[in-house]
Structure 1
Amino acid sequence: MNISMSSLTFISIILTIIVYLGARWLSIRVLSPFTTPVLTATIVIILALHLMGISYEQYTPAKEWMTFLLGPATVALAVPMYHNRDVIMEKLFPALFGLIIGTISTIISAVWLSKALGLSDTIQATSTVKAVTTPVAIEAVLLVGGDPSLAAAFVIIAGLFGAILAPLILTITKISDPFSRGLGIGTVSHVIGTSQAVKEGPIQGAVSSMAMGCAAILTSIILPWLYPIIQL
């Protein structure tokens, strides 16, 4: 494809925006965990880039421009937290206890599952950060000798599975309380799961945003001393 890099970057950004808007339109009209915009948009983008002959390396500049906007987007999650601050403060201490247990359980289960599957030490270490948002995961995984690039992939996969399956599992287990649903989703599936929690309601979205941020902080604190203990 004989297109300059700047033009290709512009085309890639426009294509991504159009595909995501289409994915959002679909998710609004077809209410299903499997129509989560991030999932459907990712699949369509991969197919489109393959058909257009655009490699990942060529798409990278566009990806970096859009990744830059993750910062403002994440900060924007503070808005529903502020609007629902009274509900969050009312249940803050039980929520923090749940967050600590959930964070520790996530780290331990990830390592034990990796060990059971006979995966390498690098993969075991990297899997410990799959439940936190990408910027934190990339830095935290270095504390235990993991791979930052692999960590980013694990985070996306965990987020997608969380967004798709977490609401379904919570419904099956008859957990209907908005606060509890938001807490569970945000603890294990960070931003991608939070985007699904927001669709459920303002309380779910606010609590999930809070849980996502706290889980990232807790993981950074707990991981350096917990991981060596698990490895014994």
Structure 2
Amino acid sequence: MQVMLSAGFIILTVGIYLICRYLYFRYNHPLINIVLLSAAVIIAILVVGKQDYAAYTPAKDVMTFLLGPATVALAVPLYRNRHLLKQYGIAIFTGVGLGTLVSMASVLFITQIGGLSREIIVSIIPKSSTVPFAVEVAALAGGNPALAVAFVVATGTFGSVIGLSLLSRFKIYNPVARGLAMGTVSHGQGTAMALLEGEQQGAMAGVAMALAGIFTSVLAPVLIALFVG
């Protein structure tokens, strides 16, 4: 029974994803975000069907297991566009480094002005890196890993919704710049949206996501030691 239920949830999730993906390409509106809309529809179905999250968990575990292969698959567009790394190598490294630093510094400034507790500040600083990086940075600095995950997911969702539209608003159309911005600020979700826009954008977003995680691991402890204590 559980196997059939899990299989049903997987089919339901994939079906909703495909519908939301079609709507995104059909209307090209930032609010029709594939991840956000899919999650909202699935949650609504679970609530209406009176199914708790525990019933959905086995199906979720199967699908999240595929995140590993999906991440590795980002190497394919990167390999096809490897000439961009040679052409813009210094700019990529510098841009992602500065972007990561500005992201953390701005959050540090805002949270301290807002008088938030040290635990929250430490948990939110690594928000623009992927979950594994953010959890480790937060845990080692005395933050709350669960809060860190929540901030990472919220950042990725928000960035994936408005990121590309905001870049267009400021007339930033270069595929390399768009990909680097999405990967630096919105990690995995931003990378997925960049890849939907184009292969070059997706390749650069994947590079930025990896570099942002490394920069976060190096710079976050320094910022926390200097300004949080």
Q: Which one of the candidate residues 201, 205, 208 is aligned to 1:204? A: 201
Q: Which one of the candidate residues 159, 162, 171 is aligned to 2:159? A: 162
Please state if 1:46 is matched with 2:23.
Answer: no
Please tell me the residue identity of whatever aligns with 2:41.
Answer: V
Please state if 1:138 is matched with 2:138.
Answer: no
CA distance in 2, matches of 1:174, 1:18: 35
CA distance in 2, matches of 1:11, 1:191: 26
Please tell me the residue identity of whatever aligns with 1:197.
Answer: A
Shift of 1:97: 0.8
Instruction: Indicate the SS of the match to 1:91.
Output: helix
Please tell me the residue identity of whatever aligns with 2:35.
Answer: V
Q: Which one of the candidate residues 72, 78, 83 is aligned to 2:80? A: 83
Aligned to 1:15: 12
Aligned to 2:218: 221
1:175-203 CA deviation, whole Å, 9 max, x = no partner?
12111111111100011111111122221
After TM superposition, the score normalised by the length of structure 1 is 0.92
Instruction: Indicate the SS of the match to 1:119.
Output: coil
Would the aligned equivalents of 1:182 and 1:197 in 2 still touch at CA under 8 Å?
A: yes
Would the aligned equivalents of 1:162 and 1:185 in 2 still touch at CA under 8 Å?
A: yes
1:117–1:62 distance in 2 versus 1, CA, 3 Å: farther
Shift of 1:144: 1.5
CA distance in 2, matches of 1:97, 1:88: 13
Would the aligned equivalents of 1:190 and 1:212 in 2 still touch at CA under 8 Å?
A: yes
Q: Which one of the candidate residues 86, 90, 94 is aligned to 1:97? A: 94
Please state if 1:107 is matched with 2:112.
Answer: no
CA distance in 2, matches of 1:8, 1:119: 43
1:51-104 CA deviation, whole Å, 9 max, x = no partner?
111122332222222111111111111111110000122111111111111111
RMSD: 1.6
Aligned to 2:120: 123
Instruction: Indicate the SS of the match to 1:35.
Output: coil
Please state if 1:230 is matched with 2:227.
Answer: yes
Please state if 1:26 is matched with 2:19.
Answer: no
Aligned residues: 229
Would the aligned equivalents of 1:103 and 1:218 in 2 still touch at CA under 8 Å?
A: yes
1:16-48 CA deviation, whole Å, 9 max, x = no partner?
111112111211211122212101101101111
Instruction: Indicate the SS of the match to 2:171.
Output: coil
Q: Between 185-194 and 112-121, report the one with greater CA deviation.
A: 112-121
Shift of 1:209: 0.8
1:110-146 CA deviation, whole Å, 9 max, x = no partner?
2222223332222111111211112222222212222
Unaligned runs of 5+ residues in structure 2 are none
Q: Between 38-47 and 113-122, report the one with greater CA deviation.
A: 113-122
1:9–1:150 distance in 2 versus 1, CA, 3 Å: farther
Would the aligned equivalents of 1:133 and 1:190 in 2 still touch at CA under 8 Å?
A: yes
Would the aligned equivalents of 2:118 and 2:228 in 1 still touch at CA under 8 Å?
A: no
CA distance in 1, matches of 2:226, 2:113: 17
Percent of aligned pairs with the same amino acid: 41
Instruction: Indicate the SS of the match to 1:118.
Output: coil
Would the aligned equivalents of 1:108 and 1:230 in 2 still touch at CA under 8 Å?
A: no
Shift of 1:217: 1.3
CA distance in 2, matches of 1:212, 1:194: 7
Q: Between 138-147 and 66-75, report the one with greater CA deviation.
A: 138-147
